Structure 1
Amino acid sequence: MQSLTDIQNRAFMAIGPSRIAALSLLVLMTKDDGEKAQTARQLSIDRVTAAHEMLGTKLPEMLRASNHSFPPELEQQRQACFEALTPLIEVLKEPGKAQSSEFSDHCLYHLEPLVSSFLKEMTEHLKESQKQLEILRQEDMLKAIANAEVVGKNIQLIAFNASIEAARIGDLGKGFTVIASEIRDLSGKTQKFLDNISGLLRQ
């Protein structure tokens, strides 16, 4: 399972370049078909397509796989960005549309602010969510260690009682006394090990 930080990085790397790619497409769609222009146009197309796929399917899938979801407002922003990129995908099919002033205004004044705002909000949300997950994970680990410490103490008590009972029956219990002593020693070492882990987690 990916961490939310990993998801944030992958999403940012896929979506971020679409802002420049959209503006590049705006210019390149009206340029000549020289080799450099074709290469630059294809790069912009790849970036816009990658951002569209990330916003539409990949990001929601990664979030579901990590048992996480955006709050409603951020989810609306994701959907708005996806919808804002869709006209660019259409332009890739019909390059003539890139020459309209309406398309230019869309890229400059609608798409860029939407994507920039979404990336900022997404990054802050996923960083904070990952931080909270790590705090909860640490608390769960401390609880698990505390439970193990209780079990260790009970084992020591049982081993001590077993030693007493073995001593009562004299020579017949000597072998059992040795075993009980070994159990008590191992339990003590385990207790120290758990204490060390607990101390590291609390730092």
Structure 2
Amino acid sequence: MLTLTEIQNRAFMAIGPARIAALSLLVLMNKEHSEKAQVARQLSIDRVTAAHDMLGTKLPEMLKASNHNLPAMLEQQRQACFEALSPLIEVLKDPGKAQSPDFSDHCLYHLEPLVSSFLKEMTEHLMESQKELEVERQADMLKAIANAEVVGKNIQLIAFNASIEAARIGDLGKGFTVIASEIRDLSGKTQKFLDNISGLLRT
């Protein structure tokens, strides 16, 4: 499962280039037919398509797999960005639409600020959410270690009592005394191991 930071990075890398790609398409569509222009045009097409896919399906799927939901306002921004990229997908099917003044205004004054705002808000939200998850995970680990420490102390006490009982039996209890001693030593080593982990988590 991806962390929220990894999701943020993947989404940013897929969506961010679409802003420049949109402007490139605006300039390149039906303007130049050189090999260099065709390569640049295809790169822009690939970037717009990748951003559209990320906003439409991949980002929601990654978030769902990580059991995370965007806040309502940020989810609305995601949908708005997806819808704002849809006219570009239509232009890829019909390049003639790129000549429309409405398309130019859409790329320059609607799409770019919308996507930029979403990327900023998404990055801040996912990074902060990941920090909160790490704090919660650390607290859970410390709690688990504390529980293990209690169990370890109980094992030491049981082993100590077992060695006392074995001593009372005499020669018949010698073998059991050795086993109880080994259990007590292992429990002590485990206790030190847990203490070390606990110290690392608290620093």
- Shorter-normalised TM-score: what interval? over 0.9
C-alpha distance in structure 1 between counterparts of 2:90 and 2:128, whole Å: 36
**How many residues get paired?**
203
Amino acid at match of 2:19: R
Deviation at 1:164, TM superposition (A): 0.8
Alignment match, 1:191 = 191
Amino acid at match of 1:13: M
Alignment match, 1:117 = 117
Say if 2:177 is the partner of 1:157.
Answer: no
Matches within 5 A, 1:139-158: 139-158=139-158
Alignment match, 1:133 = 133
Say if 2:9 is the partner of 1:9.
Answer: yes
C-alpha distance in structure 1 between counterparts of 2:41 and 2:161, whole Å: 80
Amino acid at match of 1:93: K
How many percent identity over aligned positions? 88
What do residues 122-164 of structure 1 show as CA deviations (whole Å, max 9, x unaligned)? Answer: 0000000110111111111101100100000000000011011
Alignment match, 1:168 = 168
RMSD over aligned Cα atoms: 0.6
C-alpha distance in structure 1 between counterparts of 2:93 and 2:193, whole Å: 64
TM-score (normalizing by structure 2): 0.99
Amino acid at match of 1:92: L
Amino acid at match of 2:135: I
Return 5+ residue gaps in structure 1 as ranges.
Answer: none
C-alpha distance in structure 2 between counterparts of 1:32 and 1:171, whole Å: 99
C-alpha distance in structure 1 between counterparts of 2:64 and 2:109, whole Å: 32
In the TM superposition, structure 1's runs of 4+ consecutive aligned residues that sit over 3 Å from their partners are: none
Return 5+ residue gaps in structure 2 as ranges.
Answer: none
Alignment match, 1:178 = 178
Alignment match, 1:87 = 87
SS in 2 for 1:25: helix
C-alpha distance in structure 2 between counterparts of 1:18 and 1:32, whole Å: 20
Deviation at 1:30, TM superposition (A): 3.4
TM-score (normalizing by structure 1): 0.99
